[in-house]
A and B are shown apart, each in its own frame.
Chain A
Amino acid sequence: MSIALKEEKKPRLYRVKKRGFKRTPGDIVFNILNYTFFISFTLICIFPFYYLFINTISDNELVRTGQINFIPRGIHFNNYLMLSNVNDLGTSALVSVARTVIGTAFMVFASAFVGYLVTKKEMWGRKFVYRFMIVTMYFNAGLIPWYLNMSMLGLTNTFWAYVIPGIVAPFNIILVKTYIESIPAELEESAFIDGAGHFTIFRKIIWPLSKPILATIAVFGAVGHWNNFVDSMILMSNKPQLYTLQYRLYIYLQTSNNLAELMRGGKISEAALNAALNARTVKLTVAMITILPIILVYPFMSRYFEKGIMIGAIKG
């Protein structure tokens, strides 16, 4: 696989027509159709987010009777406040945040360090080591052997099962390695002559200079960690307190009504009870707080997302 590093530039779409060209009726029809398609697809993409949001902040009775379809009414935030009564939710959120932060940090450090080391030509067995790691992208033993392996290593029902398997990420290693190779070698050589060791060179030169690519893989790693629920489901069967938020949400979506009962069982005032919590709103509210981190970071991160796929683009 050849990876091409594109110099940073915004996608520049071709624009042939300049002022002075006449638009034919065909052009106008085409434009109308084209704009209509893209605007409707965009709406389809974001409407579910919006719909979910207005349903969690609108009056629960109106929600229950299906009155809230486009415009929020009777705005209140009780649903969010009441989530604190669901005990499991707090721990799950904590587990999710912890695995995202710790797992991403480890993965980014390891990718940067390994990516740096494999550029060192003098390493003993470098080619073998590099191939040994990269080849793992193309095969996997399958779900069941993976599970049996995790339990053989004693990682089932422990928090570290979320973190350790993801530390060595071959694809990210390739990205970092390619990036480091584009850094002028003279920088390293001069530091080496000044007596800097590999760790110093890594810390003082490689790490700061490869920050753009590290930010990109960090964003992707974090999203992957946040969204993963299969490992929670398979590996944590005896430790519900280690369930991630995503898996909790899945469980809530599957259970019919007992969540609302759970919340009613908490110490909630009569008035709040009358706000008529129903299972549906609760599910939607939990979904909303699970999406929230992604939506909140997305605007800041989208340039990294795009850079990520540009860098990772398999050049034909």
Chain B
Amino acid sequence: MKLRGLRLFAVASMPALVFAACGDDTGPAAAGPPAGNSTPEGDITVFAAASLTDAFTELGTAFEAEHPDVSVQFNFGASSALREQILAGAPADVFASANTSNMDEVVDGGAASDPEGFVTNRLEIAVPAGNEAGVTGLDDFANPDLLIGLCAEDVPCGEFGREALANAGVAPSIDTDEPDVRSLLTKVEAGDLDAGIVYVTDVMAAGDAVEGVEIPADDNVVATYPIAALTDAGNAELADAFVEFVLSDDGQEILQSYGFDGP
């Protein structure tokens, strides 16, 4: 007898919960204090591409040093995952993407406007320390005896890597399409791949475990990273100030120390 009550409860409560979940799509209401003075204060949350992790962490510290009443929180992840979170109404104030297409979708979704390119990144071949396979350039990617990894076509580094290979006229013999650049780098670091195409900044961040082999400028692809304050930013003034700081000389100096090029 009581089980029927249970079923009714479950069925009755489901649409209500679904409805409640859908209601969140509009995003957070303005949470920060209204901007009254010229010195920004409060908290902001910056959603940034995983490849910016080290550089933005330092940027955040420098920004906080310049504005003592400000606290910067970061959420690093794949640009596509961040895009989904932002479009689903995650409480973000600034979005820094590793490619323009994810930013474009956020802009099309009405969550941001007027993104600006703030750095560029070039591709480089990553090989394990010692380069036992003797990789000298993109031509080696056609060698079926080598263990070759790329990023998957669906993510920016995979798209750009294939573009570079096409520029060089090389049909690669691929052993794995990695879901992101960090996981490709892990396999190169461990010596399980002979070569992979990553960003210049990744080779730099990997330190001694990985060596870089340059890709000539004619074949190379330049990735532009756009940044924008988000429409629903809780503290719009602070979000703008952070974007300005990233574009400022101080911000650019920090970014370039991690291997990024100017916009």
Task: Tell me if chain B binds chain A.
Answer: no
* B residues with CB within 8 A of A: none
* A residues with CB within 8 A of B: none
